[in-house]
């Protein structure tokens, strides 16, 4: 029988998570394998080969490979980027050095600004000028461009960002500069701001363009290598990379616009949360993904995932649409340390995949969150990773003893302290993600996933005042599961600044242009017309404001009634976000946005049975709020849909564990998720 196998891969800093869907039968499987940071594609293919052998499908049956990657993010965080240059309007060569002088930490004695991506000596100006209205006021001096090309060749730069002052309004000069540079410097990666981020705010646009240009050689090298290997190993597979907006794109576009991959992996978890919100009838979910290296928070409110027009990576703005995400360096591999004031701290340094936590037995000697959970009995060293990777308790104890001697505490006290500090950091990040949107944690359920999340989730929920925690099926690989159901997505925008009511009649023409561009991109992807759809949004603000809010539209309706509806939605969103609105103040439009979606076929998923398979009489000492307590240990598939298990308890599955404290109960949902509820008296 012909098999249609679809594979989604989320490559993290510690493990590579893989979900395998047999679209013919609806069966779904998961597998984890250690990541290979030197070449992530090695770990990817190793995991797929293991899955092929374990689940019995031939490699040539793989039709789709959807791939989330951190290669772009890591290159920026580690600043392992090729030498780049910027070409801009004469007189604006200092934009990257000036940046924005916003103080994110108002109590800091000194202002710490991110190091500019491009050195000032590699920022070149050319004579030209376009007004904010798009009128050419100073013609482009092409001799200037040729002189700059000679300087670029002499400096041996590998990538060039072309970012003129008002090219979002009229890209003519940018396109001409790009053509001249491509002719004179054929081996250099060139990115135009009008292609990657045609929006106002010169610093953010320039930062985004420079990031993209400098990532092109890195990502293209990776995609070329990946495509070569996959052609041999997975000859029938169509390959897509996950973007920060939660959609996927082909390898060609990913190579041209790698800045769109900066939240590639975590966005899969947010996509999964949106899907589960509908499936579980839980419209408000705060999704927390705790892996080996980081803790990512995203929010589903009224069934919709929050999107932003601009994000940040290592202090550098990225003005591209992306899922709103808060990330902190707190994962299972986060290292515990003592600061100069004698305080126990966690992360952001991580033991990663190599050597990993001390208990991995790969040479790590420093105490991590995973080591602490092992010492407290919340993890079983013998069954970790389904028994394929036993943990070394003695190595974890030795790592804890070093900190215990510094703090004059016992090993158990240090391990408990590590968990308390970690839980506090996780709760703070989650609380901020909700408070900054004007939302109350008590109105949300906590969706916990990631390999390290289950042993922390209920205690974090208690600290937040949340009374329901959901542990989805395949929790350890849920980001990959979310990627599995992704669609192709392209974001396009047109800057248009002025009073909304005055400019609305002309927006139809801009909308038509965006649709034409979107149709061309979807055609390039081979998406049939019946599988195409369009999602519209506006960036709106009150007249006199500097920044805007994104307002979703049901359709591109710019009639008086459409304008009134969008304006009302803006007032409501402003009131939710900032606790006030001003209906008497005129509303300005800043940009029109279009997300073009190419829907990939969605096979019907066959849920596994939720019937209780048996009981267990296993127990082990687990440290909770009152010290070590003999605690029942249950396999996940023994949790009933009708008879709740009461905490304290440990629930184990091959790739993760759940710690259920006293005062909580847990049941199985029809979807296969486990639902934990907290008693009102606790």
Q: What pLDDT sits at residue 401? A: 93
Q: What pLDDT sits at residue 658? A: 94
Distance separating alpha carbons of residues 470 and 447, to the nearest angstrom: 5
Domain boundaries, the chain: 5-76+221-261, 81-219, 488-598, 619-678
Collapsed DSSP state (helix, strand, coil) of residue 185:
coil
Q: What pLDDT sits at residue 11? A: 85
Most confidently predicted of 204-213, 312-321, 604-613: 204-213
Q: What pLDDT sits at residue 603? A: 67
End-to-end Cα separation, the chain, in angstroms: 54
pLDDT of residue 611 exceeding 50: no
pLDDT of residue 386 exceeding 80: no
Confidence of residue 605 (pLDDT cuts 50, 70, 90): low
pLDDT of residue 610 exceeding 50: no
Kindly state the DSSP code that residue 167 receives in the 8-state scheme: T
- Give me the mean pLDDT over the 523-551 stretch: 93
Tell which residue, 285, 246, 237, 240, has the closest CA to residue 266. 246
Q: Per-residue DSSP letters for 372-405?
A: HHHHTTSS-TTTGGGGTS---HHHHHHHHHHHHH
Give CATH for domain 5-76+221-261: 3.30.420.40
Q: What pLDDT sits at residue 607? A: 53
Collapsed DSSP state (helix, strand, coil) of residue 371:
helix
Measured from the Cβ of residue 73, the count of other Cβ atoms closer than 10 Å reads: 22
pLDDT of residue 615 exceeding 60: no
How far is CA 551 from its chain centroid?
Answer: 21
* CA pseudo-torsion sign 174, 176, 177, 183: positive
Confidence of residue 371 (pLDDT cuts 50, 70, 90): very high
Longest dimension (CA), the chain: 82
Both tokens of residue 492? 């396009």
* CA pseudo-torsion sign 355, 358, 360, 361: positive
pLDDT of residue 482 exceeding 50: yes
Q: What pLDDT, in 10s, does the model give residues 580-602? A: 999 999 999 999 999 999 998 77
- Give me the mean pLDDT over the 394-401 stretch: 93
Name the least confident of 378-382, 508-512, 564-568: 378-382
Mean of pLDDT over the chain: 89
Q: Which residue has the tokens 């709103």?
A: 324
pLDDT of residue 81 exceeding 70: yes
Both tokens of residue 216? 């092109």
Q: What pLDDT sits at residue 308? A: 86
Q: Which residue has the tokens 């803006």?
A: 570
Q: What pLDDT sits at residue 681? A: 55
Beta bridge partners of 294: none
Please give the share of the chain, as a percent, with pLDDT higher than 90.
57
- Give me the mean pLDDT over the 479-492 stretch: 90
Collapsed DSSP state (helix, strand, coil) of residue 434:
helix
SS3 content of the chain, % helix, strand, coil (to 5): 35, 25, 35
Both tokens of residue 56? 């019995």
Q: Which residue has the tokens 């040729």?
A: 146
Helix (H) or strand (E) run with residue 253 in it:
helix 251-256
Q: What pLDDT, in 10s, does the model give residues 132-186? A: 999 999 999 999 999 999 999 999 999 999 999 999 999 999 999 999 999 999 9
Distance separating alpha carbons of residues 99 and 102, to the nearest angstrom: 9
Most confidently predicted of 66-80, 190-204, 625-639: 190-204
Confidence of residue 280 (pLDDT cuts 50, 70, 90): very high
Helix (H) or strand (E) run with residue 421 in it:
helix 411-435
Q: What pLDDT, in 10s, does the model give residues 232-279? A: 888 888 899 999 988 998 888 899 999 999 888 778 888 899 999 999
């Amino acid at each position: 029988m012909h098999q249609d196998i679809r594979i989604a891969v989320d490559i993290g800093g510690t493990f590579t998570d893989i979900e395998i869907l047999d679209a013919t039968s609806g069966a779904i499987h998961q597998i984890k394998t250690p990541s290979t940071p030197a070449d992530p594609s090695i770990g990817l293919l190793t995991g797929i080969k293991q899955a092929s052998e374990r689940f019995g499908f031939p490699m040539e049956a793989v039709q789709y490979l959807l791939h989330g990657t951190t290669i772009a993010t890591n290159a920026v965080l580690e600043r392992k980027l090729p030498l780049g240059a910027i070409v801009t309007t004469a007189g604006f060569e200092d934009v990257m050095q000036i940046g924005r002088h916003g103080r994110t930490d108002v109590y800091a004695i000194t202002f710490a600004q991110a190091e500019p991506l491009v050195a000032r000596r590699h920022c070149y100006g050319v004579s030209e000028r376009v007004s904010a209205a798009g009128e050419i006021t100073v013609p482009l001096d092409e001799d200037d461009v040729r002189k700059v090309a000679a300087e670029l060749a002499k400096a041996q730069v590998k990538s060039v960002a072309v970012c003129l002052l008002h090219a979002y309004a009229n890209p003519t000069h940018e396109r001409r500069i790009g053509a001249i540079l491509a002719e004179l410097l054929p081996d250099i990666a060139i990115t135009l701001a009008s292609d990657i981020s045609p929006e106002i705010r010169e610093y953010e646009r320039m930062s985004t363009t420079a990031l993209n240009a400098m990532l092109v050689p890195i990502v293209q090298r990776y995609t070329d290598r990946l495509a070569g290997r996959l052609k041999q190993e997975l000859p029938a597979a169509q390959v897509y990379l996950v973007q920060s907006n939660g959609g996927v794109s082909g390898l060609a576009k990913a190579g041209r616009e790698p800045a769109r991959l900066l939240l590639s992996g975590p966005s899969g978890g947010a996509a999964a949360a949106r899907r589960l919100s509908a499936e579980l009838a839980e419209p408000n979910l705060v999704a927390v993904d705790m892996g080996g290296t980081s803790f990512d928070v995203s929010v589903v409110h009224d069934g919709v995932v929050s999107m932003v027009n601009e994000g940040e990576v290592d202090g550098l703005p990225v003005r591209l649409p992306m899922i709103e995400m808060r990330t902190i360096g707190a994962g299972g591999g986060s290292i515990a340390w003592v600061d100069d004031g004698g305080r126990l701290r966690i992360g952001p340094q991580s033991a990663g995949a190599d050597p990993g936590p001390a208990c991995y037995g790969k040479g790590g000697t420093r105490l991590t969150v995973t080591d602490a959970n092992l010492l407290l009995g919340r993890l079983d060293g013998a069954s970790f990773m389904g028994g394929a990777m036993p943990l070394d308790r003695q190595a974890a104890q030795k790592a804890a003893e070093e900190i215990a001697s510094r703090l004059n505490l016992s090993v158990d006290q240090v391990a408990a302290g590590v968990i308390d500090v970690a839980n506090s950091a996780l709760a703070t990040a989650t609380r901020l993600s909700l408070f900054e949107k004007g939302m109350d944690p008590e109105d949300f359920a906590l969706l916990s996933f990631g390999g390290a999340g289950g042993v922390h989730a209920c205690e974090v929920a208690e600290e937040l005042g949340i009374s329901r925690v959901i542990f989805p099926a395949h929790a350890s690989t849920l980001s990959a599961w979310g990627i599995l159901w992704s669609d192709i997505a392209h974001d396009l925008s047109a800057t248009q600044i002025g009073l909304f009511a005055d400019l609305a009649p002309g927006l139809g023409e801009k909308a038509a242009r965006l649709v034409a561009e979107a149709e061309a991109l979807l055609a390039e992807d081979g998406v049939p017309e019946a599988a195409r759809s369009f999602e519209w949004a506006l960036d709106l603000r009150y007249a006199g404001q500097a920044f805007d809010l994104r307002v979703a539209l049901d359709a591109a309706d710019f009639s008086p009634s459409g304008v009134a509806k969008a304006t009302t939605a803006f007032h409501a969103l402003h009131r939710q976000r900032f606790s006030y609105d001003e209906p008497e103040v005129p509303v300005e439009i800043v940009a029109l946005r279009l997300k073009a979606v190419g829907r990939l076929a969605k096979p019907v998923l066959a849920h596994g049975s939720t019937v209780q398979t048996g009981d267990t009489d296993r127990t082990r000492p687990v440290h909770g709020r009152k010290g070590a307590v003999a605690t029942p240990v249950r396999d996940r598939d023994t949790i009933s849909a009708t008879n709740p298990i009461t905490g304290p308890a440990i629930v184990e599955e091959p790739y993760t564990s759940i710690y259920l404290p006293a005062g909580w109960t847990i049941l199985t949902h029809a979807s296969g998720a486990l639902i934990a509820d907290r008693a009102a008296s606790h």
